[in-house]
């Protein structure tokens, strides 16, 4: 038993470190190749922030454990909104940019509804997965186009600032890109093996393990970054990061896993997990839109989101122990 547990702990630690180095190396390498900072922000950083979920889910699908992959994606989405945004809002009120409410949030709601429609027949086929991946590329293309048309270029500025803080030579960028990717794959493989072994030991479904342990672990980078941003007075970054991460999780993480192996969907996924994901996404949209206090996620709203996380986790525990 201690070996799978150790594999999970080491896997999480390596996963976080290697994902960070992979994104850093990929962004620097792209910059040296003349790629614009806007494209780096949308593609490299966008994919990179969901790299842990994506690689873990890909290996889970390759190992014939697609339920773990689905649980990882949906569980991460729920954790991102309830735990990560909840904690961030408790630390500091989150200012909501109007563009997020008018553009990104409706897209996330639409993608979440599409996910429910795909779950309805009890399987995410390769055709379903292909639709998700193509939709992802379409949204990314639209994001680049919209950002180029807009006067503000906050994303490019943020990427420029990050790269200026961590300058890398072409050789160093290539090294971290390769090392980060190899360790990302190795740590994901280790994590999947440990998580599946723990599930088998305790007789818990791979779906539950994916929704809880794996989803929490792969969301740790976003959690750490969001709390750090809140403490620095930049809590507004947390909302944009969560919306972007959830889009990637629903489209890329599930899409890649489904292309590798069609995912048989347990009945409780639609009635419980997708339902909760839709509810918290809709709740976030209402909170972000604001009626009495538009444009902010307040401390008490952060408390509501945290309460939702506790309630959902309790529901999962009851389903296992009850």
238-257 pLDDT, tens digit per residue, is: 777 788 889 989 999 999 99
Domains and CATH numbers, the chain: 2-321 (1.20.1420.30)
Q: What integer pLDDT is reported at residue 53 of this predicted model?
A: 83
Chain center to CA of 119: 19
Q: What is the pLDDT of residues 167-188, one digit of tens each?
A: 778 888 788 878 887 887 888 8
Over 90: is that where the pLDDT of 130 sits?
yes
Band (77; pLDDT cuts 50, 70, 90): very high
Q: Which two tokens stand for residue 232?
A: 């620095």
Element (H, E) at 156: helix 154-165
- Count of residues in the chain: 322
Q: What integer pLDDT is reported at residue 173 of this predicted model?
A: 78
Q: What integer pLDDT is reported at residue 189 of this predicted model?
A: 83
Q: Which long-range contacts (CB under 8 A, 24 or more apart) does 35-42 make?
A: 36/156, 37/155, 37/156, 37/159, 37/160, 37/163, 38/144, 38/147, 38/148, 38/153, 38/155, 38/156, 38/159, 39/144, 40/159, 41/155, 41/156, 41/158, 41/159, 42/140, 42/143, 42/144, 42/147, 42/155
Q: What is the pLDDT of residues 60-70, one digit of tens each?
A: 888 888 888 99
Over 50: is that where the pLDDT of 141 sits?
yes
Band (262; pLDDT cuts 50, 70, 90): very high
Average pLDDT on 210-221 reads: 83
Q: What integer pLDDT is reported at residue 152 of this predicted model?
A: 46
**Other residues' Cβ atoms within 10 Å of the Cβ of residue 55:** 26
Q: Which two tokens stand for residue 311?
A: 């309630």
CB distance 221 to 17 below 8 Å: no
Comparing 37 with 276, the larger pLDDT belongs to 276
Average pLDDT on 195-202 reads: 82
């Amino acid at each position: 038993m201690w070996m799978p547990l150790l594999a999970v702990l080491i896997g999480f630690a390596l996963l976080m470190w290697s994902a960070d180095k992979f994104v850093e190396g990929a962004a620097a390498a792209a910059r040296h190749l003349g790629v614009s900072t806007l494209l780096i922000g949308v593609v490299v950083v966008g994919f990179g922030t969901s790299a842990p979920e994506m690689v873990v889910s890909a290996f889970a699908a390759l190992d014939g454990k697609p339920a773990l992959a689905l649980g990882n994606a949906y569980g991460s989405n729920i954790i991102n909104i309830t735990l990560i945004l909840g904690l961030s809002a408790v630390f500091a009120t989150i200012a909501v940019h109007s563009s997020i409410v008018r553009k990104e949030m409706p897209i996330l709601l639409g993608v979440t509804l599409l996910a429910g429609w795909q779950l309805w027949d009890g399987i995410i086929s390769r055709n379903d997965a292909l639709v998700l991946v193509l939709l992802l590329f379409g949204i990314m293309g639209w994001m680049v186009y919209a950002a180029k048309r807009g006067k503000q270029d906050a994303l490019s500025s943020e990427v420029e600032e990050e790269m200026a803080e961590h300058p890398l030579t072409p050789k160093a960028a290539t090294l971290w890109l390769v090392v980060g990717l190899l360790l990302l794959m190795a740590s994901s493989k280790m994590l999947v093996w440990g998580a599946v072994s723990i599930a088998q030991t305790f007789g818990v479904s791979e779906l539950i393990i994916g929704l809880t342990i794996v989803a929490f672990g792969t969301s740790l980078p976003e959690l750490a970054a969001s709390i750090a941003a809140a403490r620095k007075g930049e809590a507004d970054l947390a909302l944009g990061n969560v919306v972007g991460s959830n889009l990637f999780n629903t489209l890329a993480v599930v899409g890649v896993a489904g292309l590798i192996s069609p995912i048989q969907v347990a009945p409780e996924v639609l009635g419980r997990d997708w339902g909760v994901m839709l509810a918290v996404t809709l709740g976030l949209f209402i909170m972000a839109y604001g009626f009495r206090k538009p444009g902010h996620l307040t401390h008490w709203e952060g408390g509501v989101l945290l309460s939702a996380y506790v309630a959902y986790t309790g529901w999962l525990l009851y389903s296992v122990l009850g």
